[in-house]
Structure 1
Amino acid sequence: MAADAAARRRRRFLMVFDFDETLANESSDDAVVRAAPGGQQLPDWLRAQYREGRYNEHMQRVMAWLGQQGATEDAVRAEIQNIPETPGLAALLDFLRAHADDFECVVMSDANAYFIEAWLEHTGARQLFLEIFTNPAHFDAASGRLVLAPFHAHACPRCPDNMCKQRILRDFLEARRSGRSGHQERSGGHQEHQEHQERSDGHQEHQERSDGHQERSERSGGHQEHQEHQERSDGHQERSERSGGHQEHQERSDGHQERSDGHRERAYERVFYVGDGANDVCPCLALETQDVAFARRDFPMHRLLTADDTHDTHTHTHTHTHTHTRTAATVQPWSSGHDVVQYLQRALEER
């Protein structure tokens, strides 16, 4: 029926991107160390303080050390902006811009908001992304350093303590399915989303800002965007406040998608997840058979998703211990953004 075809066309494809070594061709956490004056390297005592599953805490100490060495905000931003794009990324982003009616794009990254915003704005790609899910960060003028915070608390055994991407993806898909759009627009037409997920013993904390005031969603050019807060505390309902005094309610229980039945309509026709690292495996376990996990060839995500799961093996990474688990989605290796473009072109033709 024509109505069914029109409804299907309205259900866009979702593109989910990791950041480090997926969009940017280097880990931003490695690149920022070059901001240290005099070409200093991280001292051994600082490296030795790292604990598995607590990489966000480690980077908080790294940024504090950089501030103590006199690394300026300009130097930090410059090193992040100098990270090159992954091969073929420009072609992929151009393709997504040309098919904006078919694709919605988000970033899910264990980097931080300051790095990702700086890099995307520098490359001119910021407006393409509906949401950025990452660890809160801001440059504190008083201390002269970048201040980081964890994204949220969770109980997933596969993921680092500060972020479970599967929980984020499930929550986002449920919010979109329910008609809740969670992104904020800057003045001038730029989209911005800063999630506040800091926790202390289950209590909500507010993201710090250099001016101490919360940014509010603005409207420009007739486009409406909403800011969605995914703050949770042990499954209790929290509210995301919006300008105009309107409230939306978002209930969660340990990051699992709530359902009244098992046959709800999907938020998107298909989900395409593009990543490279071990922490990109967990969100792919939420994908379904029509979805695709684009795993960067010969990187940890690719090795884990294509590993022989007849063996009881574990892979230790700097973020967590990962048990090999299969995804229901198609696993598609990529070495260049051109590989992803070719697949997406076929998906549009077969739609």
Structure 2
Amino acid sequence: MKTLMVFDFDHTVVDDNSDTWVIKCLPGQTLPDSVKNSYRKGYWTEFMGSVMNYIGDQKVSPETVRSVMVTIPFTAGMTDLLTFILDNKSTIDCIVISDSNTVFIDWILHASGLQAAVDQVFTNPAKFNEVGYMEVQCYHSHDCAHCPVNLCKRRVLEGYLSEQFDRGVEYERVLYAGDGGNDLCPTSCLRGRDVVMPRRGFILEKLLAKLEDDASLSAKVIAWSSGTDILQELKASMQE
């Protein structure tokens, strides 16, 4: 029986938001109000399309975007955690479920040399078109009223667990590490022996605290401040 480690990406694996970090590639490192004000709640991917269109309009090359993106810092202790996962692939599967995009996450993981620690990344598809503009699409459509229109992380996690079960892979324990409001929904499909790990001081921790006596949450809650905290819990859970 394996352990499954599930990560959010922004403010979890990396210590910032990759979608806002990209703005550093602009000459003035800022967006005009016309782009900033185009955001509609729940439609972040659509907004990122506008951001990347603006970056393309400023003639910022894909190579320049990449050179900026790979400077985003990993959260403290996270490279040690990913290295441990990489060294224990026979007993740990690892996935990322993120509202970022395939291009950013692929660049950042490859730059770290730790991309092999992650078995699959579930995020919004992105690519550079023939004129050098990055296009971002929604990951999927869904009918969950609690999640952004482009991504329900619970649906992704349930789908992954079901596919793995069909392949004969069952997990002794699932550890889910995240920080944001969109990390709350997938916690409802975790079991009593699973662990949800909210980042200390971030919104997920506050939302989980409100669910303390709620039957929709079965998993144990353990807050984390660094990748070292998650690593300690991962090691402990493997020894139980």
Q: TM-score, normalised by structure 2?
A: 0.95
Higher relative contact order (CA 8 A, sep 6+): 2
For residues 176-235 of structure 1, give each alpha carbon's deviation from its aligned partner in whole angstroms, at most 9, with x where no partner exists: 10118xxxxxxxxxxxxxxxxxxxxxxxxxxxxxxxxxxxxxxxxxxxxxxxxxxxxxxx
Q: State the one-letter code of the partner of 1:59.
A: M
On the 8 A contact 1:31/1:83 being kept in 2, the answer is: yes
Cα separation, 2, equivalents of 1:120 and 1:102: 21
Counterpart pick for 1:149 among 98, 123, 137:
137
RMSD over aligned CA atoms reads 1.6
Q: Does 1:172 align with 2:75?
A: no
The aligned counterpart of 1:260 is none
The aligned counterpart of 2:207 is 304
Cα separation, 1, equivalents of 2:215 and 2:180: 14
What count of residue pairs does the alignment treat as equivalent?
Answer: 240
The aligned counterpart of 1:26 is 16
Q: State the one-letter code of the partner of 1:101.
A: S
CA distance 1:16–1:308, change in 2 (3 Å): closer
Which aligned pairs between 1:160-199 and structure 2 lie closer than 5 A?
A: 160-179=148-167
The aligned counterpart of 1:333 is 223
On the 8 A contact 1:305/1:325 being kept in 2, the answer is: no
CA shift at 1:344, angstroms?
A: 1.6
Higher Rg: 1
Cα separation, 2, equivalents of 1:83 and 1:177: 35
CA shift at 1:97, angstroms?
A: 2.2
CA shift at 1:281, angstroms?
A: 0.7
Instruction: Report sequence identity in percent.
Output: 38
CA shift at 1:309, angstroms?
A: 6.4
CA shift at 1:270, angstroms?
A: 0.8
Cα separation, 1, equivalents of 2:68 and 2:221: 33
Which aligned pairs between 1:263-282 and structure 2 lie closer than 5 A?
A: 267-282=170-185
Cα separation, 2, equivalents of 1:308 and 1:344: 23
SS at 2:223 equivalent: strand
For residues 223-268 of structure 1, give each alpha carbon's deviation from its aligned partner in whole angstroms, at most 9, with x where no partner exists: xxxxxxxxxxxxxxxxxxxxxxxxxxxxxxxxxxxxxxxxxxx821
> Where do 4+ consecutive residues of structure 1 move more than 6 Å?
none
Which aligned pairs between 1:84-99 and structure 2 lie closer than 5 A?
A: 84-99=73-88
CA shift at 1:72, angstroms?
A: 1.1
CA shift at 1:94, angstroms?
A: 2.0
Q: TM-score, normalised by structure 1?
A: 0.66
Q: State the one-letter code of the partner of 1:306.
A: A
CA shift at 1:40, angstroms?
A: 4.0
Which aligned pairs between 1:221-240 and structure 2 lie closer than 5 A?
A: none
CA shift at 1:343, angstroms?
A: 1.2
SS at 1:74 equivalent: helix
